[in-house]
């Protein structure tokens, strides 16, 4: 007896393996995917500018990378005893203008270099609602707790989202011709906007994204993390205590779906070895000598030696 509706998934023609280099950008769910990839020792770069929810916020920093534009004093401001930028998440905020400009330009270089060397870029889109800074007209990545009257909240029309997404795809292709893009809609609901408003926002993203991907479906892919959360995992046991964010169990289920459809089966066996070694290294043994301790260290050494010999970039 089936207890959930299954979301049909299609295996990609360009799977990720241990030769791949992956960049994850976008909302907090992009960081869930990147952490899973990191746990299995894939080469991955995650959100150099921090969490970015709206496609325009992602495009703003990618354009900086494409055109090799340095961040300047015009891109930062002082508020609540910190220096911030509307281009980035608050994790890049610093105590001085010099420090934040160093952080922003370092993030820009990291983004440029990682995409230039990437085989895959995974982009998680969170919302089509954006806060636009009234004084500059910039769609901001984060308001940094500035007064609400400094911003105008807008629901980006589908046509504008399509233009942003086309520009985003073009920018990635400029940095790395032939790069494979994997788009997904974040399963996190923005309920502070309202339930109806969240659904409108997600609907705009879905409609705009699919119309753009249909223009070049042979190259770029869609992973239905939002649909998996809304249908297959339609039960509050799959949510965190806030009843908004996916629980660790939900992330594990969605990751397994991602693995089966976007990671090469040729590396599954090595992924198992990495997982076993990671669990062994994480285990805190009470013994520091003796036969059992020596066996554990020999077991760990065997796996490390085998994996590092095959994949020299791996570090444990």
pLDDT in tens, 21-40: 999 999 999 999 999 999 99
Tell me what pLDDT residue 6 has: 87
pLDDT at residue 290 is higher than 80: no
Secondary structure (3-state) at 171: helix
Q: What is the mean pLDDT of the chain?
A: 93
pLDDT of residue 120: 97
pLDDT band at 288 (very low <50, low <70, confident <90, very high): low
Averaged over 244-252, what is the pLDDT?
A: 93
Highest mean pLDDT: which of 66-75, 192-201, 231-240? Answer: 66-75
Q: Which residue has the higher pLDDT, 284 or 304?
A: 304
Q: Residue 153: which H helix or E strand, with range?
A: strand 151-155
What pLDDT, on a 0 to 100 scale, did the predictor assign at position 294?
A: 73
Give CA–CA dist 127/54, Å, rounded: 5
Q: Please calculate the CA angle 156-168-15 and round it to the nearest 5 degrees.
A: 120
pLDDT band at residue 107 under the 50/70/90 scheme: very high
Residue 146's pLDDT is 96
Q: Buried (b) or exposed (e) across 82-95, using 16+ Cβ within 10 A?
A: bbbbbbbbeebbbe
Closest C-alpha to 39, from 273, 210, 214, 292: 273
The full 3-state SS of 32-101, as one line of letters, equals: HHHHHHHHCCCEEEECCCCCCCCHHHHHHHHHHHHCCCCCCHHHCEEECCEEECCCCCHHHCECCHHHHH
Q: What is the pLDDT of residue 299?
A: 77
User: What percent of the chain is predicted at pLDDT more than 70?
Assistant: 96
Give the bridge partners for 44, in sequence order. Answer: 22
Quote the Cα angle for 143-149-150, to 5°: 50
> Quick check: 209 pLDDT over 90?
yes
Q: What is the mean pLDDT of residues 289-301?
A: 75
- From the list 213, 31, 256, 247, the residue with the least C-alpha distance to 124 is 31
Give the total residue count for the chain: 316
pLDDT recorded at residue 302 = 84
Rounded CA separation 9/228 (Å): 10
């Amino acid at each position: 007896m089936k207890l959930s509706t299954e979301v049909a998934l299609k295996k990609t023609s360009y799977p990720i393996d241990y030769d791949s280099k992956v960049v994850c950008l976008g909302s907090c769910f992009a960081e869930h995917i990147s952490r899973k990839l990191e746990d299995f020792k894939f080469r991955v770069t995650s959100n150099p500018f921090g969490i970015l929810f709206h496609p325009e916020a992602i495009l703003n920093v990618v354009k900086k990378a494409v055109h090799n534009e340095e961040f300047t004093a015009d891109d930062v401001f002082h508020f609540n005893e910190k220096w911030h930028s509307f281009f980035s998440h608050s994790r890049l905020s610093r105590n001085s203008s010099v420090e934040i400009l160093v952080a922003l330009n370092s993030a820009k270089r990291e983004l440029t270099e990682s995409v230039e060397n990437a085989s895959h870029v995974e982009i998680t889109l969170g919302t089509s609602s954006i806060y636009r800074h009234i004084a500059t007209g910039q769609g901001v990545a984060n308001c940094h707790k500035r007064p609400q009257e400094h911003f105008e909240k807008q629901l980006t029309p589908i046509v504008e989202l399509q233009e942003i997404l086309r520009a985003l795809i073009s920018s990635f292709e400029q940095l790395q011709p032939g790069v494979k893009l994997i788009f997904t809609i974040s399963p996190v609901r923005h309920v502070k906007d309202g339930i109806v408003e969240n659904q409108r926002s997600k609907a705009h993203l879905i409609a705009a994204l699919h119309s753009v991907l249909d223009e070049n479906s042979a190259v770029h892919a869609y992973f239905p993390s939002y649909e998996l959360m809304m249908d297959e995992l339609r039960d509050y046991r799959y949510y965190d205590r806030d009843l908004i964010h996916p629980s660790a169990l939900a992330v594990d289920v969605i990751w397994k779906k991602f693995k089966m459809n976007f990671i090469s089966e040729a590396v599954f066996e090595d992924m198992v070895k990495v997982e076993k070694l990671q669990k062994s290294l994480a285990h805190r043994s009470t013994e520091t000598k003796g036969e059992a301790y020596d066996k554990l260290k020999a077991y760990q050494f065997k796996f490390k030696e085998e994996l590092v010999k095959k994949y020299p970039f791996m570090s444990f």
